[in-house]
Homo-oligomer: A and B are copies of this chain.
Amino acid sequence: MPKQTFFNLPAEKRKKILDVAVKEFAEQGYKGANISRMVLEAGIAKGSFYQYFEDKDDLYLYIITTMIAGKKLAIYEREKGRLEDLSLTGFLRAVSHQIFQDFMENPGLLRIGADLMRLEGEPVYQKIMGCYPKLSESVFMPFIQHEIGQGEISEKVNPRLLNFIFISLGLYLAYDLKTTNAETIHEELVDRMLDDMEYILKNGIYTDKGKSM
């Protein structure tokens, strides 16, 4: 947990530091993230960093738990009251909108989450799982379960697989961005992706001819 000194900082500076850190962890991964680069980028002294955070892990843990888990839980908190009357499409749009928001604000957050998978054996992973044991399942699962319960998603759909596909959406955005050489993420790009995904989820991928083979 960051030290009190960090929370005493003006909000703007705090945000700057976290933005830089998210970018660094996202682009370089946990292992490759470099504190010297971060403080340089954030415009603070190296010593200051250690007055704000215990160490590298402290910062990483804070980002993971507060920002990722926090954001994802935020969807749940916001939407759970509407679970009863939210149409499936609406749910997908809502969730995706949140993902899009994440991306616009912090394109790195999703990649950080993806990186987390790798750290299984590391001490830092144990620390994280000590706080958020179900971190990886905490996002879409409740919605999916709810839709199945409502009879809107077929019981034959494996919820874990579907959950994973949703999680992958963010990575797909990054992948798509890279392979199309788009400079920035336009909302349009996200919408197109959502349309594409919706089509598959609604119709599957086959033509009638394809289905009959």
Contact = CB atoms under 8 A, between A and B. Distances in A.
> How many copies of the chain does the oligomer comprise?
4
Nearest to A164: B172
A74 interface: no
A119 B115 CA distance: 12
Interface string A14-51: 00000000000001110110000000000000000000
Interface size class of A (residues with CB under 8 A): 35 or more
Given A154-B205, A205-B153, A211-B202, A160 B179 contact: yes
B206 A117 contact: no
Given A117-B175, A136-B179, A209 B161 contact: no
Nearest to A197: B161
Contact of A153 (B29, B117, B210): B210
A210 B176 contact: no
Interface of A: 27-29, 31-32, 87-89, 111, 114-115, 117-118, 120-121, 136-137, 147, 151-154, 156-158, 160-162, 164-165, 168, 171-172, 174-176, 178-179, 192-193, 196-197, 199-207, 209-211, 213
